[in-house]
Amino acid sequence: MRRPLVAGNWKMHGTRASVAELIEGLRNLALPGGVDVAVFPPCLFINQVIEGLQGKAITVGAQNSAVEPMQGALTGEIAPSQLVDAGCGLVLVGHSERRQLIGERDEVLNRKFAAAQACGLKPVLCIGETLEQREAGKTLEVVGRQLGSIIEELGAGAFVNAVIAYEPVWAIGTGLTATPQQAQDVHAAIRAQLAAENAEVARNVRLLYGGSVKAANAAELFGMPDIDGGLIGGASLNADEFGAICRAAGN
């Protein structure tokens, strides 16, 4: 059985004061057994969050990391090895905001994914189609290409130590959620693509859904057979709402 994972992506939100408040809220949550919980604060706050959540079973991850695994001359970047040293366990790779607004392409993302794994940091590969691509009937083609890029470069075995998050771009921050069936259809296709390479890897890899997940719609989404949890944006900035989403994954 795959253990669900619920992860909060705080994106570029927070001040020292609001982060302290959020940490306090997270510390007070009753988290369900049988569910892994993680948060991805802005890099600036990673130390604060790791210290603040000591003793609480919440993994801290980074939203981005460098293409090179080890520290060195690469201005403005943070090495996966430095994130591991700080106590991070996960890193997002290829969030659509970075693909679209910063122009990160598959070749760069392949390097980031490999560099993270080389240091023992688990990548969460984010993939998803735009509204235009969905309307053109290209969803599975786009998502398949994004996933295929890593499989071609690193092999399906790379997903023994990775997580995949399906985040339709049109559902991110819009209040529009994919229906459980729409999400399930894409998740099933992702798993089938991996299964064609390695059935065991496909069976065990966790596939998260992201895009306007809230406490009110989480249980229905997490109830689908190939949805193993969620990557939560806006709703993860409210500890109580985030806690309710974590509990939905435990039921």
Position 231 contacts ligand 13P (CB under 6 A): yes
Can 13 be counted among the known catalytic residues? Answer: no
Q: Which of 129, 167, 187, 241 is catalytic?
A: 167
**Which lies closer to ligand 13P via its Cβ, residue 14 or residue 234?**
234
**Which lies closer to ligand 13P via its Cβ, residue 142 or residue 201?**
142
Residue nearest to ligand 13P (CB): 233
**Which lies closer to ligand 13P via its Cβ, residue 72 or residue 173?**
173
How many angstroms separate the CA atoms of 19 and 1, rounded? 34
How many angstroms separate the CA atoms of 224 and 226, rounded? 6
Which residues have CB under 8 Å from 189's CB, separation 6+? 140, 143, 144
Binding to ligand 13P by CB under 6 A, coded x per residue (else -) over 138-167, reads -----------------------------x
Position 173 contacts ligand 13P (CB under 6 A): yes
Binding to ligand 13P by CB under 6 A, coded x per residue (else -) over 82-121, reads -------------x--------------------------
Task: For tokens 């600036």, name the residue.
Answer: 44
Position 212 contacts ligand 13P (CB under 6 A): yes
Position 123 contacts ligand 13P (CB under 6 A): no
Among positions 123, 211, 229, 243, the unique one binding ligand 13P when judged by CB under 6 A: 211
Position 217 contacts ligand 13P (CB under 6 A): no
Which residues have CB under 8 Å from 83's CB, separation 6+? 46, 62, 65, 91, 119, 121
Position 127 contacts ligand 13P (CB under 6 A): no
Task: For tokens 């460098």, name the residue.
Answer: 66
Residue 159's nearest CA partner among 213, 196, 104 is 196
Position 169 contacts ligand 13P (CB under 6 A): no
**Which lies closer to ligand 13P via its Cβ, residue 25 or residue 68?**
25
What is the nearest approach in angstroms of ligand 13P to the Cβ of residue 39? 12
How many angstroms separate the CA atoms of 204 and 183, rounded? 18
How many angstroms separate the CA atoms of 178 and 96, rounded? 16
**Which lies closer to ligand 13P via its Cβ, residue 40 or residue 159?**
40
b/e code 20-48 from CB counts within 10 Å (16+ = b): eebbebbeebebbeebbbbbbbbbebbeb
Can 187 be counted among the known catalytic residues? Answer: no
What is the nearest approach in angstroms of ligand 13P to the Cβ of residue 108? 18
Catalytic residues: 95, 167
Sites of contact with ligand 13P (CB under 6 A): 9, 95, 167, 172-173, 210-213, 231-235
